[in-house]
A = this chain, B = another copy of it.
Amino acid sequence: MSLPHAILTALLEKPSSGLELTRRFDKSIGFFWSATHQQIYRELSRLEATGLIRALQRTGPVRGQKKEYEVLPAGRAELARWTAAADDPRPIRDPLLLRLRAAAVVGTAGLDGELRRQLALHRESLASYRTIERRDFAPGEEDRGDPLQHAVLRAGIGLEAFWVQWLEETLETLPAPPPEPPA
């Protein structure tokens, strides 16, 4: 039950329409909770039906016309409750680890290349998070930025850094792949 709360948070930060939310879920919020516009519209309808948000006044509900939502007091209360509620950490669930386990059974052919590919992608993510950190949380300058938002970003950086290091180590333990045949 995270998506409704993600939307409540986004709407509290700034009342928005479905499409605007979709764009924000492609950027900052989407770094740790992605959602498509179909999910967002479905969830907006539910949140409105349960009285946690409401649409800002409009003459008639016409398709194709922008519809902005804002959070109602009940929505803010629900979000505050959820923020501090007991909820166990998500168990690890990663297809790449599954694939290593499968490779232990069916062989490592082609695995080396895929691990290098993943490594390159994680290095990219890591670099982009670090750029954001330098931009939004520069040290010294009188603590710009919310410390909680900084903690979230540090989590992203730490996780990407972990994967980079783990992939480098794992590539070393892998048997060398066959050399590329000359063209």
Q: Which residues of B contact A8 (CB under 8 A)?
A: 102
Q: Which of A1-16 contact B (CB under 8 A)?
A: 2, 5-6, 8-9, 12-13
Q: In the complex the two chains form, is A105's CB within 8 Å of B151's CB? A: no
Q: Which of B76, B88, B148 contacts A121 (CB 8 A)?
A: B88
B158, A100: Cβ atoms closer than 8 Å: no
Known: A84-B113, A105-B12, A122-B89. A98 touches B158 (CB 8 A): no
Chain B residues in 8 Å Cβ range of A86: 114, 117
Interface of chain A, helix or strand or loop or mixed? helix
> Does A92 contact B163, Cβ atoms closer than 8 Å?
no
Set B30, B93, B152: member contacting A33, Cβ < 8 A: B93
Q: Which residues of B contact A147 (CB under 8 A)?
A: 173-174
Q: A158-B162, A158-B165, A162-B158 are in contact. Are A101 and B170 (CB under 8 A)?
A: no
Which residue on B lies nearest to A151, using beta carbons?
Answer: B170
- The reply to whether B83 and A106 form a contact with Cβ atoms under 8 Å apart is yes
Do residues A146 and B104 form an inter-chain contact, with CB atoms below 8 A?
yes
Asked whether any CB of chain B lies closer than 8 Å to the CB of A135, the reply is no
The answer, yes or no, to whether A97 is at the interface (CB within 8 Å) is: yes
Bound Cα distance A80, B103 (Å): 7
The residues of B that contact A149 with a CB separation of less than 8 Å are 100-101, 104
Q: Which residues of A contact B (CB under 8 A)?
A: 2, 5-6, 8-9, 12-13, 29-34, 76, 79-80, 82-111, 113-114, 117-118, 121-122, 146-152, 154-156, 158-159, 162-163, 165-166, 169-170, 173-174
- The 5 A-B residue pairs whose C-beta atoms are closest, nearest first, are A84-B110, A104-B148, A32-B97, A80-B106, A9-B102
